[in-house]
Structure formats: structure tokens, C-alpha cells
Amino acid sequence: MENTASALRSTKTINKVSYSFSPGGTGKSAVLAAVTEKNQRTLIRKTSTDTVIVEQPLQITLSWLAQGVVENRVFTITMRTPGHDYLLIIGLLHSEGVIKQLSDIESIKLESDDITGQGGQNEWLVLFNAGVIPDLSSLERYMMSYSSCGLCGTTSLKTLELKTVINLSFVEHKNVLVAQSLLLLSSKMRGQQGLFDKTGGVHGVALFGLECNREPAGAAELPLARSLHQKLNLQHIYEDIGRHNAVDKVIGALLTSNDVQNKSVHGNSAKSSQQARLCLLLVSGRISFEIVQKTIMAGIHVLVGVGAPSDLAIQAAKQFDLTLIGFVSDKGFNVYHGDWRLTNA
């Protein structure tokens, strides 16, 4: 697993002045110390450098051919941490229902090579293959709903329904996830968060795949045997100043991986082994509706967060039968929907 600190342009070094307080002297001649009159504590002031996370705008422009005419449209401008932009763009377009599979896209490249400096890395152009027109209907219908009735939870759920007909319910998932296996997920992800180690200013998102080594008939049916031979493998992990961007990067990595490349993950007409294989997404922090939407669109079955979910996130999870878990730690967690996938073994 590649440490996420390897992303280029993600951090920069800045100067800072640190203030701290201690009851005694500093013992360092280079440090300016002053005793306060109120509590006689020593104020320690020193200059040093720090590593901070970079935040830059990302503009995504879509380009396609319609009736012999080239159409261009700025899809979005979002703030993100530079690095893995290609994956972020793929994940975002899929999450919004603009593309159904990776083969819809001919290329993703920088919009202009003439712009020098950091700004030249912020404008990206997505070219669609001949005959492919990006599906912007759900976004347009969403804006119509917003202008007519205002933005609300019902509008958000209806918009999600317009974007996908995906089915997350598989009988193979009943009682397949051992509850105890979730307790160490946060530490597994934390151990790979190189950018957080450097800056303390990013969210982390990780994708795990469930691996079950089945025993011969009889032994595999025992709960203890199931627990001993189950493993959640860390497949992808990305970091970003925006939690939703980190999710898009993970989904982009999933879509470009060899096992799902050029295959649609929408729909439920065929329950392939890839679809039925349980996938789990872990996010640092709280779980918003937007994170749930991206998870559902990617066909991921279990969403786990370190923090709490919102009420709308829970509603969406129930509507699409997503297992939603919050407040995960090494001591336990809360299941807000989809407890049927878990077992106490």
C-alpha cells in the first residue's frame, strides 16, 4: 500500500510563531521567556517552520461532440488538495451520474499547457468518446426542483433516485461481516495517512474488501471458524482537505482498477461476483448525505465513519439498504441501518 504522503504538490512549508506555557524555565537560551504576573507561568515564544496542506481550486470542463458541434461546459469548480486529480475527476463524474463507465471518457488532461506555475495544474478538460454525450439531466432536474420548491432533504433524495437504480442488497451479504473485524479499521487507515502525519489538516478515506477463506463443509458454518478466516483488506486510501474529495479519489481508484475497468457498476440486471463481493468505505469524521450518495453510486455496501451520520444520511441509507455505521473505534460502534450484514461471531 503506497503511503499517501507521496502525492506531489500536496504540502508546503511555512513560517510560524509558536506560543506555549510552562510552570518553569525553558533551559534554552534561544527561546524568549517572560513570566506572566497572573499565574507566574512561563510564556515560551519561538519561531520555526511547519508543513501545511495545500488548498487549490479545481476546474473541470466537459467537452463532447453533439450533431457535429463541439460542446464545452464547465462542470464544477471545487476546492481540493492537489494530487490524484485524475482519480478525483473520475470519481466525481461517476458519483454525479455523468458517466456510467470509464469507457465513456476518451481522455482527461490539463486544459492548457500555456499556463505556468501552480495555476496551470488547476484546470482540467474531460473529452468524451465519439457518440457519448454526458448525462447532465439529473443535475438539470435537480436545479429545476431547487428553483421550484427550495433545497431540502426530500429534493436531495429524489435527485439521488434520478441518478441511479443500483441495488445494494445481496443475500450473500447476510451475516457475512464479523462485528469484531471493524474495531481496528481506524487504526489501519491512520497508519497509512502520511499527509495527516505531516500536516494534521486532511481527511482520510479508505476502501476495504472482504476476504473470506472458506473451510470445508461443516467447519465453515461454525461462527468461530467464520471469524478466524475473515479479513478486511485495505485496497485504496487517499487524503484531501475535503472529505468528499478524498471519497471521490477512492472511488476513482476503484473504477480504474483492473477488476472493474470498463465495466458498468450501475444497475442490478446481473449480480456478478464482483458486485456481490462486499466492499466497505471508511471515512474520517462525520457522515453527511453527500458521502452516502457517493458511496451508493459506487455500489459500495457498507459505509463506516469515525463520527456521527446526519438524519438525511440515515434516510438515504435506509432507502438504498446501505449498511451505515458511525462512531467506530477500537471499543465499538453504532449501526444506524443494515445490521443484517453483521454477525456477532
- Reported as a single tens digit per residue, the pLDDT across 69-120 is 999 999 989 899 999 999 999 999 999 889 989 999 999 999 876 555 666 7
DSSP symbols for 15-55: EEEEEEEESS----TTSEEEE-TTT-PEEEEEEEEEEEE--
pLDDT band at 225 (very low <50, low <70, confident <90, very high): very low
pLDDT, position 240: 95
Instruction: Report whether 89 contacts 252 (CB < 8 A).
Output: yes
pLDDT at 221 over 80: no
pLDDT, position 219: 45
**Of the given ranges (98-112, 208-222, 271-285), which has the lowest mean pLDDT?**
208-222
pLDDT, position 153: 55
d(C-alpha 295, C-alpha 236), whole Å: 14
Between 107 and 260, the higher pLDDT residue:
107
pLDDT band at 266 (very low <50, low <70, confident <90, very high): very low
Cell 507561568: give the residue.
41
Domain ranges of the chain: 4-53, 56-128, 168-343
Between 10 and 137, the higher pLDDT residue:
10
Instruction: Report whether 89 contacts 124 (CB < 8 A).
Output: yes
Write the CATH number of the domain with boundaries 168-343: 3.40.140.10
Instruction: Report whether 322 contacts 337 (CB < 8 A).
Output: yes
Catalytic residue among 149, 152, 212, 279: 149
pLDDT, position 18: 83
User: pLDDT digit string (tens) for 7-55?
Assistant: 568 999 999 888 887 765 555 444 444 544 555 668 788 899 999 999 9
Question: Which percentage of the chain shows pLDDT scores above 90?
Answer: 58
- Tell me how many degrees the CA angle 2-7-12 measures, rounded to the nearest 5: 135
pLDDT at 222 over 70: no
d(C-alpha 309, C-alpha 69), whole Å: 45
pLDDT at 170 over 80: yes
Between 213 and 86, the higher pLDDT residue:
86
| Average pLDDT score over residue span 186-213 | 91
Between 225 and 127, the higher pLDDT residue:
127
pLDDT, position 270: 41
**In CATH, 56-128 is 3.40.50.970:** no
User: pLDDT digit string (tens) for 149-165?
Assistant: 444 555 566 677 766 67
Q: Which residues of 259-294 are buried (b: 16+ CB within 10 A; e: fewer)?
A: ebeeeebbeeeeeeeebebbbbbbbbebbbbbbbbb
Residue 149 known to be catalytic: yes
pLDDT, position 268: 43
Between 345 and 218, the higher pLDDT residue:
345
Neighbours of 170 (CB within 10 A): 17
| Average pLDDT score over residue span 295-314 | 94
pLDDT, position 261: 52
**Of the given ranges (21-30, 194-203, 231-240), which has the lowest mean pLDDT?**
21-30
| Average pLDDT score over residue span 322-337 | 95
Between 7 and 331, the higher pLDDT residue:
331
pLDDT band at 267 (very low <50, low <70, confident <90, very high): very low
pLDDT, position 86: 96
pLDDT at 143 over 50: no
Ranges 159-168, 250-259, 307-316, most confident:
307-316
pLDDT at 140 over 80: no
Residues 6+ apart with CB under 8 A from 258: none
pLDDT, position 231: 85
Instruction: Give the single-character DSSP code of 216.
Output: S
